[in-house]
Chains A and B, each alone.
Chain A
Amino acid sequence: MRAEDVVKSFHRGVPPFRRTIPVLKGASLEVHAGELVGLVGENGSGKSTLMQIVVGLLQRDGGTVDRPGRLGYCPQVPMVWEKLTVDEHFELFSRAYALEKDLGAKAADDLLDELEFAKYRAYRVEDLSGGTRQKLNLALALMHDPELLLLDEPYAGFDWETYVRFWEMSERRRDAGMGILIVSHLLAERERLDRLYELSDGRTLAE
């Protein structure tokens, strides 16, 4: 995945009181297959905006983005349906990813075991704790074994054991050839990363 000179501004209010808020002023980053890359920045620096542009959820004002066709996206706030169960989410996303029924069911079973929340599979999202919602959020991004995995503050709400397991999972997938980008305002595990970018004043700096 390569993003070059990405520019994005948001507009607030109506003319003549309209304000333009520049967020990204030429942000660039690359993630190659088999790389674990971090993107850090202060709150409000535009990390999630850049992530959403890379994923294709948000339109950019300028710059270019090249990304692989099969990508997984774990948003900062779980984008899920409160009234549907964990299993129903897996079924929906399995079809959206065009997985064969057996393959989708196996992927769901494996992720439920790997993240240790199989006992909640019949629970509605509204009945899950914040950490378990985040596990579902992450699992939905992983179930089709993407070429590129984009994780926006992926471990918010995880307990210590799940946090450690998350890094182990990420490293296993990186070693298997997956490109992974982790966005966070706080990355304590910098030694696990292959590269790190810092987003400041709308631009990325490679560290």
Chain B
Amino acid sequence: MNAFAIAGSSFVREHLRTPLTLLLLIAIPALFVLASAAVLGDFARALGGTVAGQAATALGAGWAAAFLAGVLGFFQVASSREADRRLSLAGLGPTRVAAARISAALVLGLVVSAAAFLSLLLRTGVEHPAHAAVAIFAFAAIYIGIGAIVGSLVSDPLEGSILVAFVFMFDVFSGPAMTSGGGLTAVMPTRKAADLLIAAGAGQSSPLGDWFWVALIAAISMSVAFTSFWAASRSRGGP
């Protein structure tokens, strides 16, 4: 294996060796998909939205993947900043460290998406499983970027986790079909991914334009994450 592959696999192991991460991998999808879909529908009605039933359950899987990916993305940057910087200085360089970090984040994103998708399958089944799987992974990819940028701005684990949770809560309760629309809901990053997931949950196909937008937003999010990882592992101006 080359240096990049060894670094990437080490970064994945680093996170999967945390017992709390493994517990959350089971607990969060179970909570969002198996338990809270009905509650999500009640909230939507209260906020003037329409999501309910299978669409709400499917949306729960997306939110589960998003939350886990966001928190893991945050800790990818915040928890090992100093060690990553030392590895970069030793000769790996910030670009290869960032590439290894983003590879690890994507592998972890795939794992959390698979856990959320599996919960969805167990709960209700999905009429468009491939569409749902891609949409759930898009939620994870978008939140890797959000978590990483929070990690580059905030180093304290508690403050960073709260900030990721705040963005997440705002995103959840301003998403499509959760509100009557308007305001910031049109610009929230997961809006199109939520449209895809709601359609897949209800057994409907989505227009090609929605897939394009989701791919574009996920690509932008990956670029943001890469830049955050790169900035965290290069020399800095001050402590």
Q: Contacts A81-B80, A88-B10, A95-B2 known; A57 to B85 CB distance under 8 Å? A: yes
**A-binding segment of B12-20, B133-141, B170-178, B221-229:** B12-20
Q: Which residues of B contact A75 (CB under 8 A)?
A: 82, 86
Q: Which of A58, A82, A124 contacts B236 (CB 8 A)?
A: A58
A83, B83: Cβ atoms closer than 8 Å? no
Q: Interface 1/0s, chain B 129-160, versus A by CB < 8 A?
A: 00000000000000000000000000000000
Alpha-carbon distance between A85 and B102 when the two chains are bound, in angstroms: 22
Interface membership of A79, Cβ < 8 A: yes
Question: Which applies to chain B's interface (DSSP): helix, strand, loop or mixed?
Answer: helix
Q: Which residues of A contact B14 (CB under 8 A)?
A: 81-84
Alpha-carbon distance between A75 and B87 when the two chains are bound, in angstroms: 12
Interface membership of B235, Cβ < 8 A: yes
Interface membership of A92, Cβ < 8 A: yes
Alpha-carbon distance between A93 and B87 when the two chains are bound, in angstroms: 7
Q: Interface 1/0s, chain B 3-35, versus A by CB < 8 A?
A: 100110010011101100000000000000000
Interface membership of A98, Cβ < 8 A: yes
Q: Which residues of A contact B2 (CB under 8 A)?
A: 95
Q: Which residues of B contact A57 (CB under 8 A)?
A: 85-86, 89, 235-236
B:57-98 near A, CB below 8 Å: 80, 82-83, 85-87, 89-92
A95, B92: Cβ atoms closer than 8 Å? yes
Q: Which residues of B contact A124 (CB under 8 A)?
A: 17
Nearest CB on A from B23, distance (A): 15
Alpha-carbon distance between A163 and B141 when the two chains are bound, in angstroms: 48
Interface membership of B183, Cβ < 8 A: no
What is the total number of residues of chain B having a CB less than 8 Å from a CB of chain A?
25
Interface membership of A119, Cβ < 8 A: no
Q: How large is the interface on A (under 10, 10 to 19, 20 to 34, 35 or more residues)?
A: 20 to 34
Nearest CB on B from A197, distance (A): 22
Alpha-carbon distance between A91 and B17 when the two chains are bound, in angstroms: 18
Interface membership of A56, Cβ < 8 A: yes
Interface membership of B239, Cβ < 8 A: yes
Q: Which residues of B contact A56 (CB under 8 A)?
A: 89, 235
A96, B91: Cβ atoms closer than 8 Å? yes
Interface membership of A18, Cβ < 8 A: no
Q: Which residues of A contact B209 (CB under 8 A)?
A: none
A:66-112 near B, CB below 8 Å: 73, 75, 77, 79-84, 88, 91-93, 95-98
Alpha-carbon distance between A56 and B86 when the two chains are bound, in angstroms: 10
Residue of B nearest to A74 (CB): B86
Q: Interface 1/0s, chain B 197-216, versus A by CB < 8 A?
A: 00000000000000000000
Residue of B nearest to A23 (CB): B238
Alpha-carbon distance between A74 and B56 when the two chains are bound, in angstroms: 53
Q: Which residues of A contact B17 (CB under 8 A)?
A: 83, 124
Interface membership of B182, Cβ < 8 A: no
Q: Which residues of A contact B80 (CB under 8 A)?
A: 81
Q: Which residues of A contact B18 (CB under 8 A)?
A: 83
B90, A97: Cβ atoms closer than 8 Å? yes
Q: Which residues of B contact A97 (CB under 8 A)?
A: 90-91
Alpha-carbon distance between A93 and B7 when the two chains are bound, in angstroms: 9
Alpha-carbon distance between A79 and B2 when the two chains are bound, in angstroms: 22
Interface membership of A10, Cβ < 8 A: yes
B7, A92: Cβ atoms closer than 8 Å? yes
Q: Interface 1/0s, chain A 96-138, versus B by CB < 8 A?
A: 1110000000000000000000000000100000000000000
Query: A-B pairs with the 6 shortest C-beta distances?
Result: A95-B3, A96-B90, A79-B86, A96-B92, A83-B17, A79-B82
- A-B pairs with beta carbons under 8 Å apart, 25 shown: A10-B238, A11-B238, A57-B89, A57-B236, A58-B237, A59-B236, A73-B89, A75-B82, A75-B86, A79-B82, A79-B83, A79-B85, A79-B86, A83-B13, A92-B6, A92-B10, A92-B87, A93-B90, A95-B92, A96-B3, A96-B90, A97-B90, A98-B3, A124-B17, A140-B86
New A-B contacts (6) at CB < 8 Å, excluding given A11-B238, A83-B18, A96-B87: A93-B87, A95-B2, A95-B6, A95-B7, A95-B92, A96-B3
